Amino acid sequence: MLTVQEAEKIFQQKIDHEVKIEPKDWMPDAYRKTLVRQISQHAHSEIVGMLPEGNWITRAPTLKRKAILLAKVQDEAGHGLYLYCAAETLGTAREETINDLHSGKAKYSSIFNYPTLTWADIGAIGWLVDGAAILNQVMLCRASYGPYARAMVRICKEESFHQRQGFEILLILSNGTKEQKEMCQDAINRWYWPSLMMFGPHDSESTHSGQSTQWKIKRLSNDDLRQKFVDMIAEQVQVLGMTIPDKDLRWNEERKHFDFGEINWEEFWNVVNGNGPCNKERLEARKKAWEEGAWVREAATEYAEKRERRIRG
Ligand code: FAQ
C-alpha cells in the first residue's frame, strides 16, 4: 500500500513525462478539485456564452448570416455538453454543477456579462472573444487530464471557424457605408478591453496559476497569453482599417511585442463578482431555461427507464 506522499510522487512523475491522467487513475484531491472548478466554469461559459449571440439570431441581416449564427450558437451548446461530461468523469453530478451556476456559487467568463447592442457586436465577439478563447484553449488541448484535453481538440477546431466568421463580418462592415464603419469601430471599442480580461488577473494576482502550471493544466500564464492576443489583434486590426481603443498600444522593438495600457481591474472584479451590466439577466435566463426544460429531462428519463424495462423483459 502506497502512502499519499508516494502516490503524489508517482502522479507528478507521470505528469512530468507527459502521461495523461485518466478518470480511474489515482489523483490528489486538490487536482480533482481544481479541474472540477475550471472545467465546470468553462462549461458554464460556453452555455451562458450562447445568450449574447442568441439575442441576434432573429435579427441577423440575411438568411445566410442567420444560418451561420445558428450553427455557431449550437456549437457553443455542444462545447458546454462535452465539458459537462468531462467534469462528470471527475465524479461530479451534472445537476450539482448546474445548481452551482444558478446559485451564483460557480463562476463563468466575465466576457458574457456585456450586452450585444448592434450586429457588429456579433462580428466583434467572433473576432475578439473567440480569438481570445482559442489562444487559451490551444494550450488546454495538451492539459494533463485526458478527457479535458480531448474535448478541447474538437472545440478548438470549431472555435477557429467562429473566429474567421467574426472577422469576416467586421471586414464587410469596415468596407461598407459610413454608418457601418462607425458601427464596426464602436463594437471594437466596447469589446476590446473585456476580451483582454478573459485571460484572468495578472500572474502576480493569480491564485491558481502556480499549482495548475506544475500539474500541466495550464502551460502558459495569464499575462503571456494576453500578450500573444494583443500582438495578434494589433496586426489584424490594420486589415480592418479600424483602431484599438488604447492610446498606449505601440510596438516595442526591444521586446518584439506590443506594449499596451493597463486593464481596469476594478471593472473586471466587479463583473466577476456579479455586478456587471448583464450578470443578473444572464443568470435569470439560464434558470428560466432550466425550469422550462424540466419536462424534457423528465420525459427522457421516463423513456430510458421504459426502454430498460422492455429490454430486461
Ligand atoms: N471571468 O487564479 P486565476 C469561450 C477567476 S470560453 C471570470 O488566474 P485560473 C467560448 C478564476 O476563476 C471562455 N472569472 O484562475 C465562447 C479564479 O476564481 P476562483 C472561458 C475569472 O483558473 C466564445 C480567480 O479569478 N474559457 O469564450 C476570469 O488559474 C464565444 C483567480 O484567477 C475558459 O473557461 C474571467 N475572465 O485561470 C462561447 C477556459 N479570469 O475559481 C460563446 C478555461 C479569472 O478561484 C461565444 N479556463 N477568473 O473562484 C482557464 O483557462 C482558466 O480558468 C482562466 C483563469 C485562464 C480563465
Over residues 237-260, the pLDDT tens digits come to: 999 999 999 999 999 999 999 999
Q: State phi, psi for 37 to the nearest 5 degrees.
A: -60, -55
| Cell, residue 229 | 492576443
Of the pLDDT bands very low, low, confident and very high (cuts 50, 70, 90), residue 225 is very high
Q: Please, are residues 270 and 263 in contact by the beta-carbon 8 Å criterion?
A: no
Which residue type, as a one-letter code, is found at position 155? I
DSSP 275: I
Of the pLDDT bands very low, low, confident and very high (cuts 50, 70, 90), residue 313 is confident
Using CA positions, which residue lies closest to atom 21 of ligand 1? 200
Test site for ligand 1: of 36, 38, 217, 271, most ligand atoms within 8 A of the Cβ: 38
Dist. CA 295–CA 64, nearest whole Å: 33
Which residue is it, cell 448546474?
A: 98
Q: Residue 307 pLDDT more than 90?
A: yes
pLDDT for position 121: 98
Closest atom, ligand 1, to C-alpha of 125: 30
Dist. CA 169–CA 297, nearest whole Å: 37
Q: Residue 151 pLDDT more than 90?
A: yes
CA of 23 relative to ligand 1 center, distance in Å:
23
Of the pLDDT bands very low, low, confident and very high (cuts 50, 70, 90), residue 288 is very high
Using alpha carbons, list the distances in angstroms from residue 287 to 47, 49, 235, 280, 281.
Answer: 12, 14, 40, 11, 10
The answer to whether the CB of 163 is under 6 A from ligand 1 is: no
SS3 of residue 106 by DSSP: coil
Of the pLDDT bands very low, low, confident and very high (cuts 50, 70, 90), residue 79 is very high
SS3 of residue 259 by DSSP: strand
Percent of the chain with pLDDT over 70: 100
The answer to whether the CB of 152 is under 6 A from ligand 1 is: no
Dist. CA 216–CA 123, nearest whole Å: 33
The answer to whether the CB of 155 is under 6 A from ligand 1 is: no
The answer to whether the CB of 75 is under 6 A from ligand 1 is: no
CA of 14 relative to ligand 1 center, distance in Å:
26
pLDDT for position 229: 98
Q: Residue 180 pLDDT more than 90?
A: yes
Which residue type, as a one-letter code, is found at position 276? G
CA of 108 relative to ligand 1 center, distance in Å:
7
Q: Residue 286 pLDDT more than 90?
A: yes
pLDDT for position 1: 80
pTM: 0.96
Using CA positions, which residue lies closest to atom 51 of ligand 1? 136
Q: Which of 158-162, 184-188, 200-204, 272-276 has the least mean pLDDT?
A: 158-162
Dist. CA 298–CA 166, nearest whole Å: 37
Of the pLDDT bands very low, low, confident and very high (cuts 50, 70, 90), residue 96 is very high
DSSP string for 147-158: HHHHHHHHHHHH
